[in-house]
Structure 1
Amino acid sequence: MTSTFHALHHGDKPLLLPNAWDFASGALLAEAGFPAIGTTSLGVAGVAGKPDASGDTKEETIALARTLARLPVPVTVDLEGGYSERPDEVGALVGELASFGIAGVNLEDGLADGTVRPVGHLVAVIEAVKAAAPEVFLNARTDLFWLGKGSRDETLERTNAYADAGADGVFVPGVSADDDVRALVQGTPLPLNVLHLPGRTDFTRMGELGARRVSCGSLLYRAALRTALNTALDIAGEPADRPIPSYADVQKVLTTPVTRSPDPQAT
């Protein structure tokens, strides 16, 4: 599966990567013909009733990876920052995932508090992971664009440092402007992964600009939540026009006590 997954980043068009949050969602996506499946950390956290990016979903992520590895397509797993400050422990985790048959992992430099780790930290993690599981496709994510913490040039400095450390691809969520995408493609020696942003990015256009992978992130999970909520409201005879909840909307219910709206049928 690993060689197949590597090859998918060098095809005639970008790899459209849908992100699953449980086995059923992954199995349905594979059955629909998608050539590879990713996971979404927000979805995994939501299923577990925990906030995203807390570093507290390692066991849930491992359990999901073990089941998704049964799928007939390559699977890549979002590991947030690796669930440890020690590069050797992150390397051991990726080695465990590789033993299940997982083809790729995603590791990021952003933190839940809106800051970004020093570049050297993810460099050390990448080196440890490639030493432990050299066959696994390591997608190194930098959150400078996503968090508005740095310029395009600073982003390129990071993507190139991660490439030099042994990463197989780079992920720059938040990038959408043609000039920015083109500059990152031309300035980085690795396949560029971008995040699909409704209303801001177009899959075909990203491919024309040179992006090699387009991820759905938490969008499918959040769209599923919308459908479930609107279906329940429709059955109850209530207006069923809720929009897709934002990332922040989902994080809010995962981090604060859930309050119940007044029962519209109560007297």
Structure 2
Amino acid sequence: MLLPNAWDHASAHALAAHGFRAVGTTSLAVAAAVGLPDGAAATREETLRLARTLGPGPFLLSVDAEGGFGDDPDDVAELARELHALGAAGINLEDGLGPADRHAAKIAAVRAAAPGLFVNARTDTYWLGDGEDTTRRLDAYVRAGAHGVFVPGLTDPRKIAALVRGLDGVPLNVLHSPTGPSVPRLADLGVRRVSLGSLLYRRALGAAVETAAAIRAGRGPEGTAPSYEEIQSLGRRGRDEGEGTASSG
């Protein structure tokens, strides 16, 4: 499954309108939108605010929660409980190469606090390192209760296939790389979820700057853009869904 990552109401609902049944969030965009650094445990409230906006949507919502915005497993469990109550179907928790036992404790606490929340446990062994210790960390996270595991930065087909075999049925999530295997190839290798991470957000920013620069230079903008009416319809759709959710309760 390809999991695109949104950063606000419009981006999430536009993706859903194009047939994506599950949408993730991207912590980089959440942080960048308010001028804060990503991965610094600084955007807990912003993440909850986005989940409150997207939770009632017509898609399964997976929330990128960095490392849970703290080291205390009980605090991370409370965050997970709140996200699940807001309608999130899953949470992505990254270890940032901190102690594996601490991350495992967070996972166990989240499972106990929000049993219905899908826990995707991310290790940064390839993202921030050379891949060493990947198997040991993932084993610890699965034993703690993770439903799936995420290894961003892993692109070598042979290593991906070997990791899939070692996981013995636990779903593997990898990050799409323009220079790595295609989504169909990753599926053939046994990967169950392919995330786009911050790619869509970064592409959108790049397109905005390129468009402004082109117009300033007297050229017409390239590419396509939704119409004003199409964007407006996304807002109406969201309100209608929110009202439907509220009335059904």
The 5 A counterparts of 1:11-26 are: 15-26=1-12
Name the CA distance, whole Å, in 2 between partners of 1:95 and 1:50.
24
Match of 1:133 in 2: 114
1:142 has 2:123 as partner: yes
Q: 1:2-151 to 2 correspondence within 5 Å? A: 15-110=1-96, 116-151=97-132
Number of matched residues?
220
Instruction: State the distance in 1 between where 2:36 and 2:137 align.
Output: 30
CA contact 1:230–1:240 (8 Å) conserved in 2: no
Give CA deviations for 1:53-96 in whole Å, capped at 9, x if unaligned.
11101110000001011211110000001011100110011001
Partner of 2:217: 237
Alpha-carbon distance change, 120 to 45 in structure 1, aligned in 2, over 3 angstroms? same
Change (3 A) 1:240 1:223: farther
The ranges of structure 1 where at least 4 consecutive aligned residues each deviate by more than 4 angstroms after the TM superposition are 238-241
- Residues 233, 240 of structure 1: 8 Å contact kept: no
Percent sequence identity over aligned pairs = 52
Return the offset for 1:150.
Answer: 3.8
Q: How far apart, CA to CA, are the structure 1 residues paired with 2:48 and 2:60?
A: 16
- Aligned-pair RMSD on alpha carbons? 1.4
Equivalent-residue separation in structure 1 for 2:179 and 2:207 (angstroms) = 20
Please give the residue correspondences for 1:247-266 in structure 2 after superposition, counting only pairs within 5 Å: none
CA gap of 1:108–1:27, structure 2 versus 1, over 3 A, is same
Equivalent position of 1:214 in the other structure: 194
Partner of 2:156: 177
Q: TM-score, normalised by structure 2?
A: 0.86
User: Partner letter of residue 187 of structure 1?
Assistant: G
Segments of structure 2 that go 5 or more residues without pairing to the other structure are 222-249
Query: What's the counterpart of residue 165 of structure 1?
Result: 144
Does the aligned pair in 1 maintain the 2:157–2:181 contact within 8 Å? no
> For residues 99 and 177 of structure 1, do their structure 2 counterparts lie closer, same or farther at Cα, with a shift above 3 Å needed?
same
